[in-house]
Every structure is written in structure tokens, then in C-alpha cells.
Homo-oligomer: A and B are copies of this chain.
Amino acid sequence: MKIKIISPIISDIFDEEVREDVKNYVSETTTVDVCHLDYGPASIESEYDMALCVPNFLEKAMEAEQEGYDGIISSCFADPGVKAAKEILSIPVVGPGEAAMLYGSLLGKSFSIVTVLPNVIATQENNSKALGVYEKVASIRSADIPVLEVSEKSKLKSALLREMIEAIEVDKAHALILGCTGMLGVAKDLQNELFTLYGYDVPVIDPLMSAVKLLESQISLGIKQSKLTYMKPPEKLRVFPQTVSTSI
């Protein structure tokens, strides 16, 4: 099967790392391709960024379906464009946030998300309500690290570890979720450190890899999003823009 991961930002900073990391998790017969946007924000840290990234994400998603991909992932924990893509595509679409929250619901009586900045907490909370697992959310904490700085792994890991300990001890979280798909390649290390250093034998869930596995499994099972919830949009006039660079 062929999966397309679309990074809904205008930079390729995560693309190569995603390509490498995902190989550790997918089945031998799964091909994963990764791309990013032509226009939109440099990273997703607000509803505003989500709004700006979705139109081009949806164009990329439609292209991917036409090119024969079997499923699509929007590589951002806030799942931007996922609901719209579930409407316009006939192949399965998965968001990393929804995937990770389902694993969190399965693995413990409660979970906490540790995300990048406080700006995205309300959005993630609303997503958990739409998904139906809000009751399982112990807390959503911020590591106070912007998306574009998560590649400093050592700083990232120590900030995440600090918040994870608080999530367990103060918020009573029993499972932990990385709240940004840019937090690549650190879940296993954090899981090990929580256990060996602190005695907490709890899962640390990587959202992008969770989405990849849930997408693979949907394709294997022959199931996709319900077209009663995600109905095909009616045909009508829709005026699209073209890209040109400006910044604010």
C-alpha cells in the first residue's frame, strides 16, 4: 500500500526525518511518501495557522488520491484539514491527534498531552470533544517550545520529561501523548526514561507514527471514514486563489 504524509507547512524541515523514522514502524509492503505545502504558515501554532494551511493541504490531498495513494495523513497534531479531506476524498484520512488520543484512551484510564505552546491547548481540547474522548483527558500541558525549535532534541526531551512527570504526579495521567508531530524519534527514549529513572511504566505515544499505523490498519481492514458523517460536498462555484509570498 502507498501512504502520503502531507506536512501542512511551507518548509521541509521535518520531511527527511519523517521518511526515515516511519520505516521503523510500517509493514514491509507499505510505501510512505512525504511532502509539504506551497503556501501557508511556517508552522501550526494557532487556529489562524490552521486556517491558512488547509486550502493547500486539501489540494495536495486531492492530488495524492489521484496519484493512487491509498491513504492520507495531515502531519500536525491539531489535525488541520482532516475533516474536510475526509469529505472530499474516497480514501481513508487520519489525523495524528485523533490517532494518538485513541491509543491513549485504549492504554490507560486517562492520558495527558504535552504540546508545544499554550496557544494550541483549546484546539486540542475541542478535538478531544469532537472525537468523544474528552473524559479521558487528564490534562493538556505545554512544553513552551515553538514548533520550529523541537529539533533541538536534548532540550525538547528534558522539557517533555519535566511536564510528563507533572502530568503523572499532579494531573493523574496514566498515558502520555506527544502533542506535536515534529517531536520525532523521542517517544521511545522518554518511555524508557520514565520507567528506568522514575519507575513509571507508562506508554509514550508518538502521534505521527500512531496515525501511520491506524491508517495502515484501516487500509488492511478495508474501512474508511463514514460518508454519513463526512458527506461529499455539493457541487457549486468555488473560487480558488494562487500563491504569492508575503509575510506578517
Contacts and interface: CB of A to CB of B under 8 A. Distances in A.
B239 A241 contact: no
Contacts of A129: 126, 129-130, 134
Contacts of A46: 84, 87, 231, 233-234
A175 to B, nearest CB: 5
Interface stretch (A65-73, A155-163, A210-218): A210-218
B25 A27 contact: no
Interface in A102-129: 102-103, 105-110, 117-119, 121-123, 125-126, 129
Interface string A73-90: 000000001011011100
A210 to B, nearest CB: 7
A226 to B, nearest CB: 3
B231 A119 contact: yes
Most B-side CB within 10 Å, residue of A136, A203, A213, A238: A238
Given A233-B46, A233-B119, A107 B224 contact: yes
Contacts of A50: 84
Interface residues of A, number: 106
Contact of A220 (B25, B117, B227, B236): B25
Q: Which of A28, A48, A88, A246 has the most CB of B within 10 A?
A: A48
Contacts of A216: 217
Given A83-B47, A209-B221, A28 B25 contact: no
Given A51-B54, A130-B126, A240 B236 contact: no
Nearest to A201: B227
B51 A229 contact: no
A88 to B, nearest CB: 5
For this chain, the copies found in one complex come to 6
B200 A238 contact: no
A223 B205 contact: yes
B221 A202 contact: no
B122 A221 contact: no
B233 A240 contact: no
A33 interface: no
A51 B58 contact: yes
Contact of A39 (B103, B146, B241): B241
B102 A105 contact: yes
B226 A41 contact: no
